[in-house]
Structure 1
């Protein structure tokens, strides 16, 4: 079975949140009305494996595990091991804040994990504490160094925020110049009860103009393997690359190939849509089986919306959706 929507977009990428728990309290993720999902509503690892098995049979060949912070969930390394044993051909990636995993890097390599996306919004210790509520910058940097030394590819995701990390652009460029990694700025997206503030929003085009003052940037052509949302730029004379992701100022809905499943088992076909499909309810109903799950996933995919149409319908400075980021999984 090939998953395809009414617009002809083929879906082969699944983002699966394993938990909404996290050891950080990032300002753009934990909103004032933040609440954890009740534990009984969180999918068990066995249920997640069942969904991954189904996804693999529906032509999903790329899987990203997210949170919250996925490594904050007990037994997560064993879960990775089970996935790799059952679906070694799948392109498995993990998004993490990297604060607690430096000792685990050799084991991740042994399990076959080839790529990590690491969330890092600043290279300044004090700013890190202000953004995340915790003092863990040195732990993140140590994890990045360990990954690179063990041959695990690293992508750094930095949420671009005026007045927060815009003054560090030159430092970020130098970090990418000196290390073989991709450093990607993502435009700030207000979620839940947040609003889009002109004083904080830092557009991808502005970042590119300012970054060009610090380095000669050479745009990388898109290929069949490099069809993600980031515009990538090689840094002349450098080891790494700069990427720009612009979900707000310049959408990439026409090429979106992903589905999301939240940690409480709800299928979400678009980040900007609050409409979800309750897969957990189907899985925990003994009268329903995998055929029903397949039908719901296929039907939901067919109705996958264009996110920018949803953004246009929202008023003024409203958030891009009503759900907080920690509950979605990024």
Structure 2
């Protein structure tokens, strides 16, 4: 089992398979994707070896992310490779959902267990203003397709922004009253490229948490492979509400996840100062070198992300590692 110097155990790997994204979200890529490196992303064979190496170290859950992972044509094969890895119990993915309606069946058939879709507004015009894409109706139809296909473990990721969607909380609550999904409100995080935007738009999730407790919502039990969200449920609602508050006290004390970039670099934290290359250990089927490297690098993991001090590390924008 992977364990750091602070006693935190790591059951969960967030695996980026590309840093390319086709959306232009105002808090992440307002000018669109700008490539500053060779697009030498890990191959299916490398990803397979990576998944096997982590699984043998106790990893039980892999989340496939990007950029936008659905831009890779071999995505179903990647899902299947992760799902077929001995020891991996859960394969999840985060996507902007641009081709969800057309491709969801392929992903489910490949073994996908759960899916997070980014939706920052339920107003089509506001959605387009945030993302640069007029895709909301298609994405919502894709969610219906997933539900009817039996993929019921669905979450919607919503980044809170003061001027863009903070006024839509009632619409989101009305949506989850009838729809069996979890809407997760995520506090906007500062990155290397969005400092001014962050200062203007950051909203604390504390107000939402207080309202949930006042209105009879109850905190659910958090599985050991769960991400950082605190999830609440209510008897009158078909779905749940989640909160991700990275600036809250002790947020990092329950960290259970590591990240690997599409270029084969281990990131000990979303806001680590650098990625640590492990790609040389993915060239053969002997996982011992990979595992030794991961264990050695894990000794350098910090107790916290230091976001409160304005540290954003090497993360220029969230598309680098999928958040």
**Structure 1 residue aligned with 2:110:** 111
Work out which of the residue numbers 296, 301, 305 in structure 2 matches 1:304: 301
Q: Distance in 1 between matches of 2:28 and 2:85?
A: 33
TM-score by length of 2: 0.91
- 1:1-330 matches, cutoff 5 A: 2-30=1-29, 35-36=34-35, 38-87=37-86, 89-152=88-151, 153-195=153-195, 197-209=198-210, 216-224=215-223, 227-283=226-282, 290-308=287-305, 310-314=306-310, 319=312, 322-330=315-323
Q: CA contact under 8 A between 2:59 and 2:87: conserved in structure 1?
A: no
| CA spacing shift, 1:223–1:248, aligned 2, 3 Å | closer
The 3-state SS of whatever aligns with 2:94 is: strand
Report the alpha carbon displacement of residue 243 of structure 1 after superposing the two structures with TM.
0.9
In the TM superposition, residue 147 of structure 1 has moved relative to its aligned partner by: 1.1
Return the offset for 1:110: 2.5
Q: TM-score, normalised by structure 1?
A: 0.89
Aligned mates of 2:225, 2:51 — CA distance in 1: 23
Is contact 1:21-1:73 (8 Å) kept?
Answer: no
State the aligned residue count: 321
Does structure 1 conserve the Cα–Cα contact (< 8 Å) formed by 2:159 and 2:187? yes
Are the equivalent residues in 2 in contact too, given 1:274–1:323 (CA < 8 A)? no
Distance in structure 2 (CA, Å) of the matches to 1:174 and 1:137: 17
Gaps of 5+ in 2: none
Q: In 2, Cα distance between the equivalents of 1:128 and 1:325?
A: 18
Distance 1:3 1:250 in 2: 24
Structure 1 SS opposite 2:52: helix
Is contact 2:13–2:257 with CA below 8 Å preserved after alignment? yes
Root mean square deviation of aligned Cα: 2.4
CA distance in 1, matches of 2:235, 2:10: 34
Kindly indicate whether the alpha-carbon contact (under 8 Å) linking 2:119 and 2:157 is maintained by their aligned counterparts in 1. Answer: yes
Compared with structure 1, are the counterparts of its residues 239 and 7 closer, same or farther at alpha carbon in structure 2 (3 Å cutoff)? Answer: same
- Whether the aligned pair in 2 keeps the contact of 1:65 and 1:95 (CA below 8 Å) is yes
Q: Aligned-pair distance for 1:111?
A: 2.5
